Chain A
Amino acid sequence: MPRRVSLFVTCIVDQLFPPVGLAIADVLERKGCEVEFLEAQTCCAQPAFNSGYRDEAREVARHFIETFRDAEYVIAASGSCCTMVSHHYEDLFAGDAHMLKEAHRLSARTFEFSAFLTDILNVDDFGARYDGVVTYHDSCHALRELGIKNGPRRLLSKVRGLTLKEMPAAEECCGFGGTFSVKFASVSGAMARTKIDSIESTGAGAVVSIDSSCLMQLRGALLRAGSEIKTLHLAEVLASR
């Protein structure tokens, strides 16, 4: 049964990594979803929220809620942005009964991409092929707020030609953390290097994640270290043939 799904590509994917959004659309369409992209969407408001600017965050969150008011399913290209909508909008609208209701309504319809595949579509094989060894990085918010741990691994296990090699510190933060990455650059950089040591110890040719922001941090640090290891969003792996 085709489902109408609305892409929430996130501003990072929209502006920096558009192929990720296309890959998500391809994968969803492959299983009969009717994919829409609402052009009114911009950002989920997390940068302002995490920086302590609640009023500004609230304005942008309100725009987001209005944008997706009629969407049947909202599919987020990022675990972190997904939790902003599904977990933190209620903090923003705690004092506004109407908006709080809208926030809860939206929260119930918003899914991180891989969780939508494994938990709602109940599909794990997309006929994908990727020749090589990869390792998987657990993005913090997907792991700890959404409880996403085995789903992406199951999806990867069905990809032909792909070998998944676990890294020792898969659950350790990559050091991105939004503005943390630039306000505490030296700490963030050191965290990334620790993560990279862990990735390199697997001998994998690529690191896969469901958050483009983690991948931006890791790719930036890998390039700086002169590493050849690639970064891939899970959707890019699933879309490859």
Chain B
Amino acid sequence: MSSSYPIQIDATVHDPALQKAVYTATGRLMDMRRNAVALVPQFEELRNHANAVKRHTIGHLDHYLELVERNVEAHGGEVVFAQDSTEVADFILTLAKQKGAKLFVKSKSMTTEEIHLNSRLEAHQLEAVETDLGEYILQLADERPYHIIAPALHYTRHDVARIFEKKLGRTETEPSDQAMIARAVLRQKFLDADIGITGANFVIADSGAVVVVENEGNARLTHSAPKIHIAIAGIEKIIPRAQDLAVFLALLGRSATGQAMSVYTSFVSGPRRTGEVDGPDEFYLILLDNGRTKVLADEAKRQSLYCIRCGACLNHCPVYRKIGGHNYPWIYSGPIGAILTPQFHGIDHDPWLPFASSLCGACAEVCPVKIDIPRVLLELRRDVIESKTAAGANKLERMVFRMWAWAMKRPHMYERLGKMAAIGAPRGDAKTGWIKDLPGFLAPGPVAGWLQERDLPRPAAHSFRELWRERQKKKGPAT
């Protein structure tokens, strides 16, 4: 297991163009959320309600999974339970073979990113086309999403122009032109596609329906034009009733992009019915585990599954805003990624991740379903340390904390150590008194880390307790 963080983080932090792009884009999303939320006086109530609904649903997930299954079937659809990416791929490949399907259109779905669906389909000579503009650009560039809702947030129009030139032979640099180029290419794909694959923002238990939220219309085309619609959703996406959407949609759009409603919200329950002119003939809902039941098993961290993927925690996270999306080890980035990744992949995989936070709490403050992300991070930190201790991998750090605890329980020892530091610490700068630099042998890891970015205060010549004693002496005996 590796404790050190990806060195690429330092490069990102020192890339002025990228810093500006990410900081500006996330800042704009923050402003849009703030303005939209300000118009809803009961927003806090809605968040509390959504949290309660999610807690209830996740707490009775077995019941709701069975309810979804029953109601999807009642409307002529089929539910497929998949434990992992292989089972999803196997199902889709078998179906494609059976139907003679060659071309898939896909709308944006983090869940399908999770299981690398496109590359699995392509490995079998099937074409899967991402149709959300940002996702389409990323597919051409062979990159993963930079942000949960704004996947190509790190690209400028010139980056897009370079990608389009290489892949499509087009050199336009105006975003409006670029969007229309994508429209023309993708429109034909929609008309020709055999199967449409969408994700699901919500799965509605009492209706056996999936809800897909978007702005472009590509998701509508994906589930309306081809003859087969496959929706893929994590098992945690369920909410009990269609009526719950009034609250969840009010929260999602505002939290994500400051929209009271996204442009298109589709509530799809099964294939087209008798008499309908268009719409798919077949509807499949794949309910994916892929590690979710593991997360469910931990009572304190279970709330990680409440997430509705609005991306607000990313926009408000000062760490995400510095390190961007691609330094996170998995497709889920930002605070939510920092808590989902270790729980899905195992704590030993990226043990640095739960520590990459100042615990400022901005994420929890804006989370529409009130996931206490800092608290989950603290739990994960404990898990990392327990795991490392069991493996004997943190002997030095553990010893330091043991010694620290030993001294902190002994005020005299604590004071004596403080005094030694005050006497022994190197001199500070003549003008400010703070230490600007130290030779390596005087600067153990943490001190060097501090000095890399900042001046360091010298311990005070006289601690507060010493000054307090003086002060009390001067005041005379207590009255």
Contacts and interface: CB of A to CB of B under 8 A. Distances in A.
Interface of A: 9, 11, 13-18, 21-22, 25, 37, 39-43, 45, 47-54, 56-57, 59-60, 63, 88, 91, 140-141, 143-145, 171-173, 175-192, 194, 216-217, 219-221, 223-224
Contacts of B460: 15-18
Nearest to A47: B404
B318 A175 contact: yes
B409 A60 contact: yes
Nearest to B375: A91
Given A21-B468, A189-B454, A191-B322, A14 B463 contact: yes
A45 to B, nearest CB: 7
Contacts of A216: 457
A220 B356 contact: no
Nearest to B470: A22
B467 interface: yes
Contacts of B455: 219-220, 223-224
B388 to A, nearest CB: 9
A43 B414 CA distance: 9
A175 B398 CA distance: 25
Contact of B357 (A21, A57, A177, A194): A177
5 contacts: A21-B468, A91-B378, A140-B360, A144-B361, A194-B318
B5 interface: yes
A52 B456 CA distance: 25
Nearest to B355: A183
B434 A220 contact: yes
A53 B359 contact: no
Contact of A140 (B359, B386, B422, B457): B359
A111 to B, nearest CB: 19
B423 interface: no
Among A25, A53, A144, A189, residue most surrounded by chain B Cβ atoms (within 10 Å): A53
Contacts of B463: 14-15, 18
Given A15-B463, A141-B361, A186 B23 contact: no
B408 A224 contact: no
Contact of A63 (B322, B359, B384, B408): B408
Contacts of B436: 223-224
A189 B358 CA distance: 12
B443 to A, nearest CB: 11
A145 B364 CA distance: 10
Given A16-B457, A144-B364, A180 B359 contact: yes
Contacts of B378: 49-50, 52, 88, 91
Contacts of A40: 411
Query: Ordered nearest first, which 7 A-B pairs have the shortest CB separation?
Result: A177-B358, A189-B453, A220-B454, A182-B449, A52-B385, A52-B381, A173-B360
Contacts of B453: 185-186, 188-189, 192, 220-221, 224
B450 A220 contact: yes
B382 interface: yes
Nearest to A44: B408
Q: Is the interface of B mostly helix, strand, loop or mixed?
A: helix
A3 to B, nearest CB: 15
B450 A181 contact: yes
Given A191-B318, A220-B456, A60 B405 contact: yes
Among B422, B457, B460, residue most surrounded by chain A Cβ atoms (within 10 Å): B457
A183 to B, nearest CB: 6
A221 B454 contact: yes
Given A17-B457, A184-B9, 13 more contacts: A11-B414, A15-B421, A52-B382, A52-B384, A56-B404, A140-B360, A184-B319, A185-B453, A188-B358, A189-B452, A217-B454, A220-B434, A224-B453
Given A16-B460, A60-B405, A175-B318, A182 B450 contact: yes
Contacts of B408: 42-43, 45, 59-60, 63
Contacts of B405: 48, 53, 56-57, 59-60
Contact of A9 (B322, B459, B464): B464
B434 A219 contact: yes
Given A56-B404, A185-B452, A192-B453, A180 B385 contact: no
Contact of B13 (A18, A59, A187): A187
B286 interface: no
B355 A180 contact: yes
A191 B382 contact: no
B445 interface: yes
Given A39-B465, A180-B358, A182-B449, A219 B457 contact: yes
Contacts of A16: 457, 459-460
Given A17-B460, A180-B358, A173 B318 contact: yes
Contacts of B409: 42, 59-60, 63
A88 to B, nearest CB: 8
A177 B360 contact: yes
Contact of B362 (A22, A140, A182, A187): A140
B471 interface: yes
A53 B385 contact: yes
Nearest to B432: A223
B37 to A, nearest CB: 14
A186 B13 contact: yes
A42 B414 contact: yes
A15 B418 contact: yes
Contacts of A180: 355-359
Contact of B381 (A13, A17, A51, A191): A51
B14 interface: yes
Among B378, B421, B454, B468, residue most surrounded by chain A Cβ atoms (within 10 Å): B454
A185 B471 CA distance: 38
B367 to A, nearest CB: 12
Interface string B260-284: 0000000000000000000000000
Contacts of A184: 5, 9, 319, 355-356
A186 B327 CA distance: 14
Contacts of B352: 183
A51 B401 contact: yes
